[in-house]
């Protein structure tokens, strides 16, 4: 005759007698390894992200601190700033100019010129200064002085990258970069969604392959 089940008998049962719920096994092996192509795609995505952050920072600096970039196509400031360099410059009032500064002067109907200041004289107003300049590679000063109310002073320069930056303005280069970035994004994210769906299906089916 079967023994009746009472509340007391249920309370006296040991918790260890209850069988633990089955835990689905985590797939290992080939599914857990990362393909070399995936590593390359992730690295390219990180590079693109870093480049995007740098562009955002430059835009913010241009509007808030008037910091921009200029490229050197000639070697008039060699060896301090050789041809092919990119300099980071900041616009400052003429009253901040000192002898020895390397500054960029904007000229009407001509390209800007970046040379070293050799003299500073007061101008017609309190905001104006009359400066003379000379390139480090030049034996003589520029042929005439410059009357300025503001200039762009060189903070620092990076040699050899002007060609790369100038090349990015080419429409064919921009098109190739856009196509490459699109390919990397699709390659990086599309397979991840497929793997997630397969893993979810395996979980619903009880872990069967």
In a domain, 8, yes or no: no
CA dist 88 and 179 (Å) reads: 30
Residue 91 lies in a domain: yes
Look at residue 53 and tell me if it is in a domain.
no
* Helices of type H across the chain: 7-12, 36-64, 162-167, 171-204
131 occurs within a structural domain: yes
The residue that leads in pLDDT, 105 or 25, is: 105
d(CA 46, CA 56): 15
Does position 183 have pLDDT exceeding 90, yes or no? no
Q: Is residue 171 part of a domain?
A: no
Statement: residue 30 has pLDDT above 50? no
Domain residues for the domain of 145 are 66-159
Q: What is the CATH number of the domain that holds 136?
A: 2.10.109.10
Does a structural domain hold residue 42?
A: no
Confidence category of residue 105, pLDDT binned at 50, 70, 90: very high
Chain mean pLDDT for the chain: 76
Q: Is the pLDDT of residue 145 over 60?
A: yes
Q: Which residues pair with 132 in a beta bridge?
A: 119
What's the mean pLDDT in 26-36? 54
In a domain, 181, yes or no: no
41/186 Cα distance (integer angstroms): 10
* Pair 90, 156: CB distance under 8 Å: no
pLDDT score, position 77: 95
Which tens digit of pLDDT belongs to each residue from 46-61?
A: 766 666 676 677 677 6
Q: Going by C-beta distance under 8 Å and a sequence separation of 6 or more, which residues neighbour residue 68?
A: 58, 61, 62, 88, 89, 90, 91, 152
As for how many domains the chain has, the answer is 1
Contact 166, 71 (CB under 8 A): yes
pLDDT category at 67 given cuts 50, 70, 90 is confident
Do 159 and 146 contact (CB within 8 A), yes or no? no
Q: Is residue 31 part of a domain?
A: no
Q: For 153-166, what is each residue's pLDDT tens digit?
A: 999 999 988 777 66
Look up residue 112 and give its DSSP letter.
-
The rounded distance, in Å, linking the Cα atoms of 152 and 45 is 35
């Amino acid at each position: 005759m079967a023994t009746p089940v009472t509340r007391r008998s249920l309370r006296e049962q040991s918790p260890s007698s209850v069988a633990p719920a089955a835990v689905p096994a985590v797939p290992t092996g080939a599914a857990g390894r990362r393909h070399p192509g995936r590593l390359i795609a992730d690295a390219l995505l990180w590079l693109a992200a870093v480049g995007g952050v740098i562009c955002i920072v430059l835009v913010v600096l241009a509007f808030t601190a008037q910091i921009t970039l200029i490229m050197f196509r000639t070697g008039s400031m060699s060896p301090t700033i050789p041809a092919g360099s990119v300099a980071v410059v900041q616009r400052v009032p003429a009253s901040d100019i000192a002898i020895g500064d390397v500054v960029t002067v904007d000229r009407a109907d001509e390209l800007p010129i970046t040379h070293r200041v050799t003299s500073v004289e007061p101008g017609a107003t309190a905001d104006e200064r009359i400066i003379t300049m000379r390139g480090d590679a030049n034996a003589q000063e520029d042929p005439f002085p410059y009357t300025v109310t503001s200039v762009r002073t060189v903070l620092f320069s990076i040699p050899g990258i002007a060609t790369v930056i100038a090349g990015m303005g080419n429409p064919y280069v921009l098109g190739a970069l856009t196509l490459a970035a699109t390919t990397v994004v699709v390659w990086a994210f599309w397979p991840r969604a497929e793997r997630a769906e397969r893993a979810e299906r395996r979980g619903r089916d009880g872990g069967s392959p």
